[in-house]
A and B are shown apart, each in its own frame.
Chain A
Amino acid sequence: MSRNVKLETTLLKGLGTLSQWLAYCSGAALLLMMILVNANVLLRPMGRPIWGSYELVGFLGSVTLSLALLRITMNRGHMVVEILTDHLPDGVNRFLDRFNRVLGTAIMALVSWRSFCYARQLWQDGEVSPTLTMSYYPFVLGVAVAFGLSALAMLLAPGEQPQGEEE
């Protein structure tokens, strides 16, 4: 096994384990969101609503979704339409698979880069959320990391196996 292949395999294995842990955390963030929403619904009639709960729910939403993104990419779980590709020859499908992976990697990397820039801008400007007046650039940074890792996963994930061929 060449050094590059070994590195790729190790990276993929690491990303796989990381994605599993991040997916657990993603579920935990969702449960936290549910608890927060219910606590606010219960406390509001008593005149003691949770201050900034709308903002917190939004931030928890971004945490939930960012953390789950890597797992979806690792599992090739993004929604695709296979109506045409199911009927194309293996060679064409291999080419399309490569094309889609390159495009996907480029877009994810672009989103990651722009999110990093956006987070840096928010940090430099001292931008805070309207109600809680808390800095929210860390959540944007989280999105940037999630897309960055997903770009890497999309680049390294094994390509489509032709029908009838197994690894």
Chain B
Amino acid sequence: MGEVLVGAIGIVILLLLILVGTPIGIALISVGFAGFAYLVSPVAALHLLAEEIFLTLSSYSLAVLPLFFLMGQLAYQAGMSGRLFATAYTWMGHLPGGLAIAAVGGCAGFSAISGSSSATAATMGMVALPEMRKYDYDLSLATGAIAAGGTLGILIPPSVVLIIYGIQTEQSIGQLFVAGILPGILLSSLFIAAIIFMSLRNRNLGPQGPRTTFKEKIAALPGALEAALLFGLVMGGLLAGWFTPTEAGGVGALGALIIGLARRKIGFRDIGRAAMETALVVAMLFMILAGAMLFGKFLAVSRIPSELAQWAVSLPVPRVVVLVLVMAIYAVGGCIMDALSFLLVTISVFFPMVVQLGYDPIWFGVIVVILLEMGAITPPVGINVYVIKGVAQDVDLGLIFKGILPFFVAMIVCVAILMLCPSIALVLPRLF
């Protein structure tokens, strides 16, 4: 049997295992190990198994993940999301749909200190939803805005998905982070435009809040200042070359801890809980990561990625058609699997193809993140929607999904703009 055929069979078995509920990490390790044993040798596969897993668990560059996760956890415990929302509300609450706009603004701000989409949605849901209920907001708009706003968490740096993408494709994490800034602002603006448009069409959806004075607006700024400082420290230090991405995560985590301690929001018990919860989430992720590394080795010896790339280039169709097909796979895949897992399972297959077609790897990383974000708000997985459902248990799931629709359209518009104008994502990385 040829290597490519073995690789293809391996991919099919992997998908089958995942579909029948095998833990994704276990499925990746099983297929990766068995495939490598078949194509190379069982002895080599047995050696690879232990070494690859230990290398993954003890990798310095992968230590960036727990540290950035810890930063987000500590920022949450420090109550930074609540203060971000309060600032955004003071500045934008008087606009039509002002509270929903403030929630998206708060999400964008919290995204700058947390790299997780569901954490951003959960934390802003707890803060903003009660306020929107108080002002009689349409629940569909309210929940949709927060679930969609949460997706900014994995686009605006620091982003866990961009970190994984960078590690798997050997791209600079700093450059990827910078590349996410302008598309993040663009997507936030499109979300806000969608809220204003809907609220103007139907004034009952998002009643305007009270107008605030200029003095009140200035007084509210410190609520955003701490997040801005933390973001500036992490990104500034990273771009100035003061520290590595792993160190940036560590500095960010300590910064969030100091803010929490200074504001007396965090006690020793909270620090311990945040660290333990982070460790558990990250260990779950590392099982998949270790499996993906092993699976990647199997795919490499099967030559599937390089053959696929060659095939894609030789197709008698414009390269954009192939790109759109790959994008469709990511958009659909994100609907059935967690964003990070899907990225880990597929990136070693599609990345060489897209690069071979001549697309910029940094730009493609940003596009992939937005596509996977779409999956986070669409059924059946739609993790952010379930997070919001957890916060607002009396709201019907269908109502939340209905509320998502305008934001989903905004995401499609964002992808289209980035395809027409890739420099939005690439202008900043070229400067640094």
- Whether A111 sits at the interface, judged by CB under 8 Å, is yes
Chain A residue nearest to B278 in the complex (CB):
A30
Known contacts A71-B280, A79-B284: does B275 contact A115 (CB below 8 Å)?
no
**Shortest distance in angstroms between A26's beta carbon and chain B's nearest beta carbon?**
4
Within 8 A of B (CB), among A88-136: 93, 96-97, 99-100, 103-104, 107-108, 110-111, 114-115, 117-118, 136
Bound Cα distance from A72 to B57, whole angstroms: 16
Known contacts A34-B70, A85-B20: does B26 contact A78 (CB below 8 Å)?
yes
Within 8 A of B (CB), among A14-66: 23-24, 26-31, 33-38, 40-41, 54-55, 57-62, 64-66
- Whether B393 sits at the interface, judged by CB under 8 Å, is no
Which residue in A31, A38, A54, A140 is a CB contact (below 8 Å) of B54? A140
Contacts of A104 in B (CB 8 A): 22-23, 26
Contacts of A97 in B (CB 8 A): 21
* B58 and A69 within 8 A (CB): no
Which residue in A36, A61, A82, A107 is a CB contact (below 8 Å) of B57? A61
* B50 and A114 within 8 A (CB): yes
Contacts of A100 in B (CB 8 A): 20-23, 26
- Whether B30 sits at the interface, judged by CB under 8 Å, is yes
- Whether B341 sits at the interface, judged by CB under 8 Å, is yes
Which residue in B54, B243, B288 is a CB contact (below 8 Å) of A79? B288
Bound Cα distance from A35 to B18, whole angstroms: 38
- Whether B381 sits at the interface, judged by CB under 8 Å, is yes
- Whether B247 sits at the interface, judged by CB under 8 Å, is yes
* B54 and A118 within 8 A (CB): yes
Q: How large is the interface on B (under 10, 10 to 19, 20 to 34, 35 or more residues)?
A: 35 or more
**Shortest distance in angstroms between A91's beta carbon and chain B's nearest beta carbon?**
14
Q: Count how many chain A residues have C-beta atoms less than 8 Å from C-beta atoms of the other chain.
A: 60
Contacts of B22 in A (CB 8 A): 80, 100, 103-104
- Whether B242 sits at the interface, judged by CB under 8 Å, is yes
- Whether A68 sits at the interface, judged by CB under 8 Å, is yes
- Whether A143 sits at the interface, judged by CB under 8 Å, is yes
- A-B pair count, CB < 8 Å, reads 185
* B19 and A33 within 8 A (CB): no
Contacts of B277 in A (CB 8 A): 27
Known contacts A57-B246, A79-B284: does B54 contact A30 (CB below 8 Å)?
no
* A30 and B381 within 8 A (CB): no
Known contacts A64-B66, A80-B24: does B49 contact A114 (CB below 8 Å)?
yes
- Whether A1 sits at the interface, judged by CB under 8 Å, is no
**Shortest distance in angstroms between A4's beta carbon and chain B's nearest beta carbon?**
26
Contacts of B21 in A (CB 8 A): 80-82, 84-85, 93, 96-97, 100
Contacts of A40 in B (CB 8 A): 247
Bound Cα distance from A61 to B66, whole angstroms: 8
Within 8 A of A (CB), among B316-342: 336-338, 341
Of A57, A59, A60, A61, the most chain B CB neighbours within 10 A belong to A61
Which residue in A35, A37, A61 is a CB contact (below 8 Å) of B247? A37
* B251 and A117 within 8 A (CB): no
Which residue in B24, B25, B60, B288 is a CB contact (below 8 Å) of A58? B60
* B57 and A26 within 8 A (CB): no
* A27 and B23 within 8 A (CB): no
* A78 and B23 within 8 A (CB): yes
Bound Cα distance from A23 to B275, whole angstroms: 9
Known contacts A41-B250, A84-B19, A103-B30: does B283 contact A139 (CB below 8 Å)?
no
**Shortest distance in angstroms between A146's beta carbon and chain B's nearest beta carbon?**
9
Of B47, B254, B274, B338, the most chain A CB neighbours within 10 A belong to B254
Please, could you name 6 A-B residue pairs with CB atoms under 8 Å apart, sorted by A? Answer: A30-B70, A33-B67, A62-B54, A64-B279, A69-B287, A81-B381
The 9 A-B pairs with the shortest beta carbon distances in the complex, nearest first, are A37-B250, A27-B275, A27-B276, A78-B23, A68-B283, A114-B50, A118-B50, A62-B58, A26-B279
